[in-house]
């Protein structure tokens, strides 16, 4: 199903074509794992069921595959997809978002970016059972090919090997070297800010958002975290790490949704997914204010 989402659009954006962002995708490099407190540093064809499609004649088109959107859809994380689509449109780029649901095959070659949101435990079980098979193999193929994968909260947990709930172990896609355990004790809830250092992002940057998870995620010995916790709990409330990253595959617990308050990260995802295309700058006054507010909510002083 295709349609446009115009109710929340503020109108045309002014793009400064002469000013380019420095981000360029490059082949994944192995990165040494930092320590807490360290200085800043193929299967058959995919059914085409599009809920959103923007195309501009003669432009590049970002092709996004949204996995299990009817099941992994809590915490307003679908807003992340809206942000990606709008930031493409404002630059004259096309954006096509296709749902890939339960029981539907995933062809990783069809997409530039794959997205998994958060879900309830029962829905994660259903997705996990499928991701333990061919669909998980397709995700691993996409990750190894350098495709961008963004997974939030429950989707992040599903990229690991397992999620243990009491005496039950929910399998995962085994894309990232991690596992999650639901421990006794309070949920990890609150505003959070982390420092990340992504390739071609111009040095360390801050991601800010909101976390709400009962699971404690443990990274494998060689698994790189997404970032270092500045404020908040992170993966487990103990390690000082948040999220995980391998090449262009990123998992995180940050909600908000994540991308409206971190527009620089949305642009990094778009640029990387399109093979390092140079993106013109947008008038991001409101987005920058949202990013500042998210940092303040987490207890940071912006500009640190």
pLDDT of residue 185: 85
Residue 15: count of CB within 10 angstroms of its CB: 15
In Å, how far are 128, 136, 138 from 133, measured between CA atoms? 9, 6, 9
pLDDT of residue 35: 44
Residues recognised as catalytic:
153, 255
Residues 6+ apart with CB under 8 A from 212: 75, 153, 187, 188, 189, 255
pLDDT of residue 181: 96
pLDDT of residue 48: 36
Helical axes 121-131 vs 134-144, angle rounded to 10°: 80
pLDDT of residue 166: 80
pLDDT of residue 184: 84
Pull the structure tokens for residue 295: 């940092």
**Cα dihedral across residues 155, 157, 159, 165: positive or negative:** negative
**Distance between CA atoms of 126 and 188, rounded to whole angstroms?**
24
Residues 6+ apart with CB under 8 A from 104: 46, 47
**Distance between CA atoms of 181 and 166, rounded to whole angstroms?**
8
pLDDT of residue 136: 98
Contact predicate 59/92, CB 8 Å: yes
pLDDT of residue 14: 46
pLDDT of residue 59: 65
**Distance between CA atoms of 51 and 223, rounded to whole angstroms?**
34
Pull the structure tokens for residue 282: 């947008």
Residues 6+ apart with CB under 8 A from 35: 240
Per-residue confidence of the chain (304 residues) as pLDDT tens digits?
Answer: 333 333 233 444 545 443 333 333 322 333 334 444 444 333 333 333 344 444 444 468 999 999 999 999 887 888 999 999 999 999 999 999 999 999 999 999 999 999 999 988 899 999 999 999 999 999 999 999 999 999 999 999 999 999 998 889 999 999 999 999 998 889 999 999 999 999 999 899 999 999 999 999 999 999 999 999 999 999 999 999 999 999 999 999 999 899 999 999 999 999 999 999 989 999 999 999 999 999 999 999 876 4
pLDDT of residue 20: 36
pLDDT of residue 241: 98
Contact predicate 255/211, CB 8 Å: yes
In Å, how far are 5, 47, 62, 150, 175 from 81, measured between CA atoms? 11, 19, 11, 10, 21
Residue at token pair 């599009």: 50
N-to-C CA span, the chain: 44
> Could you give all domains of the chain from N- to C-terminal order, each with its CATH number?
42-297 (3.40.50.880)
């Amino acid at each position: 199903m295709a349609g446009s989402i115009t109710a929340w659009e503020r109108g045309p954006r002014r793009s400064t074509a002469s000013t380019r962002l420095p981000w360029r995708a490059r082949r994944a490099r192995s990165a040494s794992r930092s320590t807490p407190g360290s200085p800043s540093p193929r299967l058959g064809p995919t059914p085409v069921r599009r809920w959103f499609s923007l195309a501009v004649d003669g432009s590049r088109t970002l092709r996004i595959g949204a996995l299990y959107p009817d099941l992994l859809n809590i915490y307003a994380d679908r807003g992340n997809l809206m942000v990606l689509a709008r930031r493409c449109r404002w630059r004259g780029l096309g954006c096509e978002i296709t749902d890939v649901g339960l029981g539907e095959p995933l062809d990783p070659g069809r997409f530039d970016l794959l997205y998994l949101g958060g879900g309830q435990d029962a829905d994660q079980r259903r997705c996990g059972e499928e991701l333990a098979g061919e669909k998980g193999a397709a995700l691993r193929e996409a990750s190894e090919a350098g495709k961008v994968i963004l997974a939030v909260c429950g989707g992040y947990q599903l990229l690991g090997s397992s999620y243990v709930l009491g005496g039950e172990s929910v399998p995962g896609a085994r894309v990232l070297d991690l596992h999650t355990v639901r421990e006794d004790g309070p949920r990890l809830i609150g505003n959070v800010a982390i420092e990340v250092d992504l390739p071609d992002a111009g040095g360390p940057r801050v991601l800010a958002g909101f976390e709400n998870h009962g699971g404690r995620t443990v990274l494998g010995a060689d698994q790189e975290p997404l970032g270092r916790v500045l404020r908040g709990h992170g993966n487990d409330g103990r390690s000082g790490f948040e999220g995980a990253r391998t090449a262009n595959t990123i998992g995180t617990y940050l909600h908000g949704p994540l991308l409206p308050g971190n527009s620089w990260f949305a642009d990094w995802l778009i640029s990387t997914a399109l093979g390092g295309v140079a993106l013109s700058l947008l008038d991001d006054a409101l987005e920058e204010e949202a990013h500042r507010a998210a940092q303040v909510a987490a207890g940071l002083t912006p500009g640190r």
